[in-house]
Amino acid sequence: MDFQLSDDQRALRSGMRDLLGAVFDRDRLRAAVERDGALDRSLWRELGAAGFFALRLPEEAGGVGLGLPEAVLLFEEAGRALLPGPLVATHLAAGLVKGAAEGEAVVTAVAADLPAAHLAEADAVLVVDGQAPPGLPGDVLSGDVSGAEVLAGEALRAFVAAARPVRSVDPLTPLHRLAGRAVPPGAPQAYSGALHYEAALLTAAEQLGSAARTTETAVQHARERQQFGSPIGSFQAVKHLCADMLARTEPARAAVYAAAVTGDPAEIAAAKLLADEAAVRNARDCLQIHGGMGFTWEADVHLHLKRAWLRAASWLTVARAEELLAADLGAAGRLPRSSAAYGRPVPEAGGGG
């Protein structure tokens, strides 16, 4: 099986990188930070017009008709750019929530007892565990996405009113804690269904993009910054840090790309583990290479670290991913071996998915 990207996939990734460089450069990133992460609706619509959210919808439904491997490439670029907003939830809601595919609607998601991102700005909410909170008024829509329901209209307004804002480690991601959704001790976590695994994989792709970007940033700084008349990259300790960053990024890339082709839940769990580690540890090492300036607000390194922490706690945590892998390795509780278990064919490697 060939896991090399096709020419079309490389062009897709390059095109998204160029687009994000034009519509979300460093000035816009810093403007978003100053807005406390408030979404730019015009940027959201530009992403919709570029097919970011409708990528996997069939062409006859107004989408692009590509697959999960191509979606991973786009989300990797979004992670590189630190693009804010509930990208994963809106992408998954395309075709289910009116306006999501076009970027006219912002859709966030709630799962288990985790805080919800950008809840105050959302036009709809995916309830990923498939159990909407009791007592809500109408407009709770049963979705055709496995394991999810949609809150909209009056139900959404009541849901938002019952939530309370909590301090977020990431200045680009406002969070709300949801009343009455704490999971009792010992209760099973609801992580079944294709949607949750796909969300975890797309989040891992964002982590991969962040890990790659901090690696490049660290290497560039190590080449330019001089101490004792030499670039700091000539010092062995700095060389080792940069080499370790690359050695974490590339296995994570291989795992994420392979999981996108197979759709295997265990492989997705492994990809999320590797990508989370690469994103968090690479951001830390990048900060270390930058020295004192890396700790300042003006540097962007801390934004990658904070977002990596937040993503690592989203969809599949380290503990849950390890449990899934342990179950897959054991004789009991084996997981479905491919996305075909969810009614989807396994796409060919390097193809359109």
Q: What is the rounded distance in angstroms from the CA atom of residue 198 to the CA atom of residue 20?
A: 23
291-333 residue pLDDT tens: 888 888 888 899 999 999 999 998 888 888 988 888 888 744 4
SS3 108: strand
Q: What is the pLDDT of residue 336?
A: 54
Kindly indicate the confidence band of residue 352, based on its pLDDT and cuts at 50, 70 and 90.
very low
351 has pLDDT over 70: no
Q: What is the pLDDT of residue 190?
A: 38
Mean pLDDT of the chain: 84
pTM: 0.85
Lowest mean pLDDT among 1-5, 24-28, 71-75, 256-260: 1-5
Q: What is the pLDDT of residue 2?
A: 62
Q: What is the pLDDT of residue 221?
A: 93
187 has pLDDT over 90: no
Strands 140-142 and 164-166: unpaired
Kindly indicate the confidence band of residue 27, based on its pLDDT and cuts at 50, 70 and 90.
very high
- Contact call for residues 151 and 136 (beta carbons, < 8 A): yes
> Which amino acid type is present at position 290?
H
72 has pLDDT over 80: yes
156 has pLDDT over 90: no
Mean pLDDT of 19-26: 93
Q: What is the rounded distance in angstroms from the CA atom of residue 43 to the CA atom of residue 31?
A: 13
| Helices 236-262 and 68-81, packing angle to 10 deg | 150
Mean pLDDT of 189-210: 83
Q: What is the rounded distance in angstroms from the CA atom of residue 201 to the CA atom of residue 314?
A: 11
Mean pLDDT of 152-170: 89
Q: What is the pLDDT of residue 339?
A: 47
Q: What is the pLDDT of residue 330?
A: 78
Q: Mean pLDDT: which of 4-8, 29-33, 58-62, 206-210 is highest?
A: 206-210
- Segment holding 180, helix H or strand E: none
85-127 residue pLDDT tens: 999 999 999 988 999 999 999 999 987 677 899 999 999 998 8
Lowest mean pLDDT among 31-40, 47-56, 172-181, 299-308: 172-181
Q: How far is CA 126 from CA 96, 194, 249, 258, 291, in A?
A: 10, 14, 31, 27, 41
Percentage of the chain modeled with pLDDT above 90: 57
296-307 residue pLDDT tens: 888 889 999 999
Q: What is the pLDDT of residue 144?
A: 45
Q: Which residues of 315-333 are buried (b: 16+ CB within 10 A; e: fewer)?
A: bbbeebbebbbebbeeeee
